[in-house]
Amino acid sequence: MIKIAPSILSADFSKLGEDIKDLERYGADLVHIDIMDGMFVPNISFGIPIIKSIRNLTKLPFDVHLMIEEPARYIEDFVKAGADIITIHYEADRHIDRTINYIKSFGVKAGIALNPATPVENIKHLMPNLDMVLIMTVNPGFGGQKYIQYCSEKIKEVKELSNKFNKDLMIQVDGGIGKDNIKAVVDCGANVIVAGSAAFKDGMIEQNIQDLRGEF
């Protein structure tokens, strides 16, 4: 099953609660929450108080993507705020194996994100212990960017490793994905699609999610 994970970074923050409820109403599978610290990426988004404030508005799993330096410092806080999946960047953590195990010790799912130029080979030995790998198909930090084509090969590489070491792995892609390329991304092996602009464009959440699903 292919899952759609709309990123609330593209939501209308003047009515965020309503948008969150609409995601569940109109068939999203996850709520993707991008946390940026202005250090690991050149932008600042939002943090733990926002997650706490929306947690009781939906039963959808919260897919929390930490684009922050030294993420281990905040894992417990994000779990308490309501995270169901926590993804950290390979490039942001010196002790990635230890942090993945720390995340899983709280009973939530753990993922690793890879920036576009980071080789998939770097996480080969971690694959059996992961719940998700997130392939960034744009450089992280801003919404609305164009899909980087060479990332399609990286998705295929992760799929091959998944077939060998972890058949239940969620293979997530994030960045520049819409109606025009979602099928190609799924054909490469992705099974969780982050959609920002494509999900929230023009406030037409129901139609946008239907349009995305209609392509695969």
Is there a binding annotation on residue 175?
yes
Active-site residue (options: 29, 37, 131, 174)? 174
Is there a binding annotation on residue 144?
yes
Is there a binding annotation on residue 143?
yes
- How many alpha carbons fall within 13 Å on the CB side of residue 170? 25
In whole angstroms, give the CA distance from residue 172 to residue 110: 12
**Is 97 among the residues known to form the active site?**
no
Is there a binding annotation on residue 214?
no
Is there a binding annotation on residue 107?
no
Is there a binding annotation on residue 65?
yes
**Is 168 among the residues known to form the active site?**
no
Is there a binding annotation on residue 111?
no
Active-site residue (options: 19, 34, 93, 131)? 34
Is there a binding annotation on residue 32?
yes
The residues assigned a catalytic role are 34, 174
Known binding-site residue numbers for substrate:
7, 65, 141-144, 174-176, 196-197
Known binding-site residue numbers for a divalent metal cation:
32, 34, 65, 174
Known binding-site residue numbers:
7, 32, 34, 65, 141-144, 174-176, 196-197
